[in-house]
Amino acid sequence: MKQRIELWAVLVLLFQFFHTNSFVTAATPEEMLTRINRLPAAEREAALIKEARNEKTVIWYAPMNREDLRQFTAGFEAQYPFLQVEILTGGPQSLLNRILTERRAGKDNFDTLNIRSSALYTLKKAGAIARYESPQRRGLRS
């Protein structure tokens, strides 16, 4: 559970970083991620945390049970007390529709999300998500 919270924390910090975008100027979020991921681990985390402090809030779209979400958010907020997690729950299809509607309006309101893998192609095609190659991926099994 601790590893899942830590991985989720890194993803959230990256999304926060994209929204402020004062550290690195890049043409696309994927290029920005590539530049950030080239930094040494400590420098990368320090830069992400610095930018996340400016945001103060993380918005998480999740089709999960609220009690399960509280466990994740409690762990995250304990590790990053300068960020408050706001959760929007709903069914997978309603969250997908909301994300696509926000994208068409040019306003992505979420920082991180949980969604069915079958929706990833739709989100990628709409430009609502980008590829993320985590530096922690090297530690995962093939």
| pLDDT tens digit sequence for 11-46 | 555 555 555 544 545 567 778 778 888 888 889 888
- Cβ burial of 5 (10 Å; 0-12, 13-18, 19+) is middle
Contacts of 62 (CB under 8 A, 6+ apart): 69, 87, 88, 89, 95, 113, 114
DSSP, collapsed to helix, strand or coil, labels residue 108 as coil
pTM score, two decimals?
A: 0.70
For the chain, list the domains and their CATH numbers.
2-139 (3.40.190)
Six-digit token string for 17: 């970083």
